[in-house]
Amino acid sequence: MKIGIVGSGMVGSAAGYAMALMGVGTRIVLVDAEPAMARAQAQDIAHATPFASTVAIHAGDYTDLKDAAVVVIAAGVSQKPGESRLALLERNVAVFQSVISGIMQHAPNAILLIASNPVDVMTFAAQRISGLPPERVIGSGTILDTARFRSLLGEHLAIAPSSIHAYVLGEHGDSEVAVWSSAMAGSVPIISFADQIGRPLDAGARERIAEEVRSAAYTIIEGKGATWYGIGAGLARVARSIIDDENALFSVSQVSEEVEGVSDVALSLPRIVGARGIVANLMPDLDEGERAALKRSAVVISDYTSKLGF
């Protein structure tokens, strides 16, 4: 199956590279406002495929997106050091107007996978601009934050992150919510697991880990200007679930009718993703503090999307 990627900068090219190495889809098309950039990235990635897979990758334009099952949107202006994701709002919405027009003209049946920041606001904008059902416009949301959370927990507990089932919900940004009350290591609540192995997760440890998850992007941006490898792999993984109809569970963003009393808001919850897009939404068990934090996060996003005038 064909996958389109609009925006061949660091995030778009990292997603294409991860897809090529993982064997996601059969053909990847890179589209960019600077065609020379798309051609260069496609050639570079293509030269890696003999070591990994038979995925074909090349540059093209919007007409080459015809029959794409998934189109990743990674277009937009870059986040500056110290700039919050939500501060990118006005600069990126204008880009989306043009990009989505091109996609919908040539690939109206594609599922849109949004990577551009601020991703929750841009997911809302993409759904409104495209007119697609909300389940077919998926924001990368907190998939990377969740991966960071599990990685840090695995490091603290000295176990594989794949053995940890824990989520970050809400905004992909400063108001995100690391959920402890339903976090598990294997089949054991994570706090109990930590106590049993002599690596307790007291209040101080939990706050430290949650803060490291929140600040990870800023640390990386300070050091090298932007993040791309982690989110590239995350986008590839979600795309695989769509292409292969896996019905896998991810913390991704979607426009929801209501979350914690806030209506018409795009944020991350655990959601089942398959060939039709998001096929089910789940609400994990939350304590009162987590519910209040999730509502605050929803309000932060809603305050911005309400200004878009859709």
Terminal CA-CA length for the chain: 33
List the catalytic residue out of 58, 106, 156, 172.
172
CB 103 within 8 A of CB 112: yes
Please, which residues bridge with residue 114 across strands? 73, 139
Query: Sign of the C-alpha dihedral, residues 64, 67, 72, 73?
Result: positive
Spatial separation of the C-alpha atoms in residues 151 and 277, rounded to whole Å: 27
Q: Are 17 and 9 in contact (CB under 8 A)?
A: no
Say which residue the tokens 């601009």 belong to.
Answer: 129
CA within 13 Å, CB half, 148: 27
Report the side by side order of strands in the sheet with 111-114. Answer: 56-59, 27-31, 2-6, 70-73, 111-114, 137-139, 248-259, 262-274, 277-281
Query: Is 165 a catalytic site residue?
Result: no
Count CB-CB contacts under 10 A for residue 214: 18
- In DSSP notation, 170-190 reads B-SSTT-EE--TT-EETTEEH
Strand extents, DSSP E, 11-53: 27-31
What tokens does 93 get? 């919405």
The H-assigned helical ranges of 107-183 are: 119-130, 143-157
Catalytic (active-site) positions? 172
